[in-house]
């Protein structure tokens, strides 16, 4: 192919994928609005949207309008592992079609089953839903690699997450502080003590805000010069740029989101945010070998301003009191006991079917046979680690752990070069989101919420999108 023909093919590809990329950004922005897409109709629309984008790109690829991106080769292992996991969920769906019997008891303590027990899953329709949603998240991961192919597009993805988080923060803060009643779809919220945004559960709302804040921190770092200033004049110039430029506006957005996060009174949501930025900040300083004053100032300023300034006005002490009561065991509410009992019973379920699990999306169906007589009904385990092992077994759990380790390793490698600010910022945002999610997943089920899971997958894959984070498309 001649240079002129090659340039023409690149131009066609850029123009074609630009429209698909805009549709991709719109999908990311809209995901959290309808109850976090946590209803079959909404996550079905989400999956249909990403499937439509993928189909359009496939048509463009087959007709020669689109090109096969080199980034897919870099991400082949992480996408392959995610694809194998989706295949495992497919196996859980297909097995009951070929075999039914009572060879495996999924009743507590090996008791005789009360009805027909199937291989693969105890809830075929629930596992089919899990397969469709998992397939949608796989396509979202692939489109992240395909469409986010320049530093400019990477920054636009992070900005989209920040703006969507800002919208949620403004809505949640306004409703909480004003006491106004707000009706969204079938969910009616009355302004009160806790912020929810368009989510039903405040903890899932807090988790989404933490993901948006991770994107915001990454954007701030991507716009910073991490090298040391040579003189006082250079330091003054950087200070003025930070105070009057785009970074100041972005910092205000983050303060608004932190206000909403504090107003959720979510113990683990707030803990995950402050712990993740501290852990990843210290890790980044260690990776840089030589201390970076701008990075240190940013991390300290976020912690100091958000805890002491924002917290003083919006009640962070209530969050701290709730955390202390949980740690000390004083004043425990019924919810804490229910969560502990559910975790203990989930472990019993895992021991009964450790390898293959009970089938994706089947916790709702399988758990009632295991809960105690005094235990309330729970549709989720309030622990993502346990719920994934219950539903997908060690096979699915190992695949998901492998996916996460590959993403962690890629993001960690990007934190070693202070001269590539955009690469550093993207990898910091990705690593911070993963650490925060790993912390929050110990006590909640945010990854069962389609919008949260979708954003998390995107943030995990962003470090794979660009090799050097250069260029403009």
Among candidates 437, 338, 334, 443, which has minimal Cα distance to 387?
A: 443
* pLDDT interval class at 428 (50, 70, 90): very high
Residue 331 CB-half CA count within 13 A: 5
Which of the two residues, 417 and 89, has the higher pLDDT score?
89
Give tens-digit pLDDT for 126-171: 999 999 999 999 999 999 999 998 899 999 999 999 999 999 999 9
**Separation CA 406–CA 134 (nearest Å):** 18
Which single residue is written with the structure tokens 């004043």?
331
Which single residue is written with the structure tokens 């995610």?
82
Among candidates 194, 291, 190, 294, which has minimal Cα distance to 241?
A: 294
Instruction: Map residue 100 onto helix, strand or coil.
Output: strand
**Separation CA 3–CA 92 (nearest Å):** 50
Residues in a beta bridge with 181: 190
Phi, psi for 286 (deg, rounded to 5): -65, -40
Residue 403 CB-half CA count within 13 A: 23
Give tens-digit pLDDT for 219-246: 988 887 665 555 666 556 655 565 556 7
Give tens-digit pLDDT for 165-203: 999 999 998 888 877 666 566 555 555 568 888 898 899
Which of the two residues, 101 and 432, has the higher pLDDT score?
432
Report the chain's terminal Cα–Cα distance, integer Å.
Answer: 22
The conformation of residue 447, written as its DSSP 8-state character, comes to G
pTM of the model: 0.89
* pLDDT interval class at 265 (50, 70, 90): confident
What Rg do the C-alpha atoms of the chain give, in angstroms?
23
> What average pLDDT does the chain have?
82
Query: SS3 for 231-261, per residue?
Result: CHHHHHHHHHHHHHCHHHHHHHHHHHHHHHH
């Amino acid at each position: 192919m001649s240079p002129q023909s090659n340039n023409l093919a690149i131009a066609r590809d850029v123009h074609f994928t630009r429209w698909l990329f805009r549709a991709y950004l719109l999908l990311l922005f809209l995901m959290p609005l309808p109850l976090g897409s946590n209803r079959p109709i909404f996550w079905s629309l989400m999956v249909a949207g990403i499937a439509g984008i993928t189909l359009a790109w496939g048509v463009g690829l087959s007709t020669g309008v689109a090109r096969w991106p080199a980034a897919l080769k870099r991400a082949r292992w992480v996408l392959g592992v995610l694809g194998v996991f989706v295949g495992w969920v497919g196996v859980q769906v297909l097995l009951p079609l070929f075999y039914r019997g009572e060879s495996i008891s999924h009743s507590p303590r090996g008791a005789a089953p009360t009805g027909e027990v199937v291989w693969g899953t105890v809830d075929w329709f629930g596992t089919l839903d899990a397969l469709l949603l998992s397939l949608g998240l796989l396509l979202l991961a692939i489109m992240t690699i395909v469409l986010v192919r320049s530093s400019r597009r990477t920054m636009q993805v992070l900005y989209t997450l920040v703006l969507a988080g800002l919208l949620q923060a403004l809505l949640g803060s306004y409703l909480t502080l004003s006491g106004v009643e707000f009706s969204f779809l079938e969910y009616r919220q009355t302004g009160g003590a806790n912020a929810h945004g368009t989510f039903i559960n405040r903890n899932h709302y807090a988790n989404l805000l933490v993901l948006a804040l991770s994107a915001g921190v990454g954007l701030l770092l991507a716009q910073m010069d991490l090298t040391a200033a040579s003189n006082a004049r250079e330091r003054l110039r950087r200070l003025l740029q930070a105070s009057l430029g785009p970074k100041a506006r972005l910092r205000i957005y983050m303060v608004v989101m932190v206000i909403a996060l504090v107003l959720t009174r979510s113990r683990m949501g707030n803990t995950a945010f402050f712990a993740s930025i501290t852990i990843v900040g210290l890790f980044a300083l260690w990776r840089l070998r030589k201390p970076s004053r701008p990075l240190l100032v940013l991390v300290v300023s976020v912690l100091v301003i958000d805890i002491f300034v924002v917290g003083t006005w919006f009640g962070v002490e209530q969050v701290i009191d709730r955390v202390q009561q949980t740690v000390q065991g004083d004043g425990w509410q019924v919810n804490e006991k229910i969560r502990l009992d559910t975790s203990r019973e989930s472990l019993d379920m895992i021991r009964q079917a450790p390898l293959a699990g009970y089938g994706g999306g089947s916790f709702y169906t399988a758990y009632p046979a295991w809960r105690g007589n005094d235990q309330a009904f729970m549709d989720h385990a309030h622990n993502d680690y346990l719920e994934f092992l219950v539903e997908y077994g060690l096979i699915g759990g190992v695949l998901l752990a492998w996916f996460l380790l590959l993403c962690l390793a890629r993001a960690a490698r990007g934190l070693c070069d202070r001269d590539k600010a955009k690469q550093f910022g993207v990898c910091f945002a990705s690593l911070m989101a993963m650490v925060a999610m790993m912390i929050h997943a110990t006590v909640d089920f945010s990854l069962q919420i389609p919008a949260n899971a979708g954003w998390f997958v995107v943030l995990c894959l962003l470090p794979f999108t660009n090799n050097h984070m250069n260029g403009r498309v």
